[in-house]
Structure 1
Amino acid sequence: MLSKSPTEQYTYVMNCKQTTFSSEIPLVDLSKPDAKSLIVNACEEFGFFKVINHGVSMEAISKLESEAMNFFSLPLIEKEKAGPAYPFGYGNKSIGHSGDVGWLEYLLLTTNQEYNSPTLSSAFGQNTEKFRTVLDDYMCAVRKMACEILDFMAEGLNIQPNNVFSKLLMDKDSDSLFRMNHYPACPEQGEDDDENMIGFGEHTDPQIISLLRSNNTSGLQISLRDGSWISVPPDHSSFFINVGDSLQVMTNGRFRSVRHRVVANGLKSRLSMIYFVGPPLSEKIAPLPSLMKGKESLYKEFTWFEYKNSNYGSRLADNRLGHFERIAAS
């Protein structure tokens, strides 16, 4: 259980009205012929969509969720053996290096299992091999889904070759990450029905796309183009896809990275598992020539390493792409 320290400054936000799935969040059935066009439309309008028939078995999902909850149920002194998260490992309340605080604890891993061994051994002890096997099964299935979605994006945009995005994920040097966030039930939630404590502050994801699933506990919210916030109804069996900053650049702003946040729940704990699709550190990120057709580039070219380095000390809510936007001459 997390507890509040007198010196920690938590953020509260006004409740946003719960919205129905059918009226707001785009739904994509990956098994249907119209998946490509629906994905493109969703990325242009929301930067966010929900997928069903995604090919990840409920068995793989349930096994990893069970292992994650076993870990987060351990005493804090045991969990802290897998930390601190610099950058990989166990973290508690602190997010990043610039003072952001949230009502959560997490385990951040790389998708390259070779580099996770020290963290996993500290976190899971004798159960390390079991967790590694369960994690491998889950990540392989999610990676396959990610490649399918990325190829659908390229096909929907009429880009050749259609693996222009997915090859970055499949590269042996792909800088992809896997994160498990646990948001304990917040004991103070409910004292004021008009406000929610922030579990994870508003931000965009820097990578290409993020593939997220959670248990049946509400909390995720996304920002619409007009700046308003809507709550995303939880769905244990589906995945939600976020457009990241890198994909926004590669599509020259046609796809927009979605600003999102998580608010604390007063009754139930929330567990989310996110696969972040990252390019190799040396990969040059710039608008794809086939999407330009005489248009001005909105962004300067940069490598993924340069992006990460320039934003190392940024706050969650910062516009990280601001460093790389081209400013029109006045």
Structure 2
Amino acid sequence: MGFDSCEGETQIPCIELPKELLESKVGSEEWKELCRKVREAGEEYGCFMVSGHDGVPAELREEMFMAMKDLFDLPVETKMKNTSPQPYRGYVGNIDVIPLYESLGVEDAPCLDSAETFTERMWPHGNPAFCQTMNNLSRKIKELEILIMRMIYESYNVPTNLDALAEKTHSVFRMIQYKPPPANEETGVGLIAHTDKSFVTVVCQNQVKGLELLTKQGHWIQFSPLEGSFFVFVGEMFKVWSNGRLHAVKHRVVMRGDRERYSIAMFAIPKDEEGQIEVAHQLVDDDHPPLFRSFNNHDYFNYYVSNVNLENTLEIYAGI
């Protein structure tokens, strides 16, 4: 069970989290040590890679990537039927600042009804195979997402359980395609630099490079994803909850070469009806005064969308 730097010079922690071992070791010293490693990676890097998690079969991931090619080949008019009243949760494409980017989001994809609603919008007679693959994969990624949140809670000695965390969060499953840059350009902007507005985000991707991270030292680094691994980002909501201990890392996508890049991002976001975000009182004391005021997640996200070019939006909006 390791905590090693991954390929290249990125030095991003890579943590092995086999599902069966975790289920049998909860509460043990080995479990507590793993929780500590996850928390420290979130504090120092704001991200880490997960390997060896057999709870999400590699075959299922590959099925999803293959199915996504057919999805993105659909007419734009069809993909635009993927709508949502919330910004960035439906279809996103044909944007001047990110011309290589196209994505479709599905809210509550782990719920079969939501998955079916999406596929029936995309295909006149539905697409049972696509629906089943997306539903199965999103359910398993959500299990990993909730597990990681629980590990962080427990490492901070904040009592919780899996059911409470699942009730606290709402899932957005986003399928993303990045086109290669034009032949006359060496690189192209896939996605502009940003921090996620989630508690955590779990990303799986094909083997095409492009994801870059901004280190605390101010350097952009690109890395090669390990086959079969997941990438976990700390989002701004966890940064607030942890009173600034967890680091919401800024990241972007830069495309090179001539291959399309596919990725899946699963966002654990606060439920709108329970979207009040506040610092955990267990993480406030004389040495750690509160850094953020309590705020409504929905209101903050609308503020972010209206001020997307601002730096440090969270601190401006909710910092004390």
TM superposition score normalised by structure 1: 0.81
Give deviations 1:200-243, integer Å, cap 9, x for gaps: 00000001000001000000000000111000212341100000
Partner of 2:105: 108
Partner of 1:217: 208
The alpha carbon displacement at 1:296 in A equals 1.1
Kept in 1, the 8 Å contact 2:202–2:230? The answer is yes
Partner of 1:323: 317
Partner of 1:30: 17
- Map 1:152-171 onto structure 2 (within 5 A): 152-159=151-158, 161-163=159-161, 167=163, 169-171=165-167
Match of 1:287 among 268, 279, 293: 279
- Map 1:241-280 onto structure 2 (within 5 A): 241-280=232-271
Query: For the structure 1 residues 155 and 82, does the alpha-carbon distance in structure 2 shift closer, same or farther, using more than 3 Å as the test?
Result: closer
Kept in 2, the 8 Å contact 1:168–1:280? The answer is no
The alpha carbon displacement at 1:131 in A equals 1.8
Aligned residue type for 1:320: T
Give deviations 1:71-116, integer Å, cap 9, x for gaps: 113344554454699644332132xxxx753411111111254456
Q: How many residue pairs align between the two structures?
A: 296
SS of the residue corresponding to residue 210 of structure 1 reads strand
More deviation, 82-91/53-62: 82-91
- Map 1:90-109 onto structure 2 (within 5 A): 90-94=91-95, 100-109=97-106
Asked if residue 298 in structure 1 is aligned to residue 291 in structure 2, the reply is yes
Kept in 2, the 8 Å contact 1:214–1:236? The answer is no
Query: For the structure 1 residues 146 and 300, does the alpha-carbon distance in structure 2 shift closer, same or farther, using more than 3 Å as the test?
Result: same
- What is the rounded CA distance, in whole Å, between the counterparts of 1:59 and 1:89 in structure 2? 26
Give deviations 1:95-149, integer Å, cap 9, x for gaps: xxxx753411111111254456554323233343322211111011111111211
- What is the rounded CA distance, in whole Å, between the counterparts of 2:85 and 2:191 in structure 1? 16
Give deviations 1:43-68, integer Å, cap 9, x for gaps: 11110000012221112211211211
The alpha carbon displacement at 1:279 in A equals 1.5
Partner of 1:70: 70
More deviation, 106-115/148-157: 106-115
Kept in 2, the 8 Å contact 1:20–1:233? The answer is yes
Partner of 1:307: 300
Aligned residue type for 1:126: H
Asked if residue 59 in structure 1 is aligned to residue 59 in structure 2, the reply is yes
Kept in 2, the 8 Å contact 1:85–1:91? The answer is no
Give deviations 1:232-278, integer Å, cap 9, x for gaps: 21234110000000000000110010100001132211000000001
Unaligned 5+ residue runs, structure 1?
1-18
- What is the rounded CA distance, in whole Å, between the counterparts of 1:185 and 1:199 in structure 2? 9
The alpha carbon displacement at 1:305 in A equals 2.1
More deviation, 134-143/232-241: 232-241
Which is bigger in relative contact order (C-alpha 8 A, separation at least 6)?
1
Root-mean-square deviation (CA, aligned residues, Å) is 2.5
More deviation, 209-218/308-317: 308-317
Query: For the structure 1 residues 109 and 168, does the alpha-carbon distance in structure 2 shift closer, same or farther, using more than 3 Å as the test?
Result: farther
Asked if residue 179 in structure 1 is aligned to residue 174 in structure 2, the reply is yes
Partner of 1:89: 90
SS of the residue corresponding to residue 298 of structure 1 reads coil
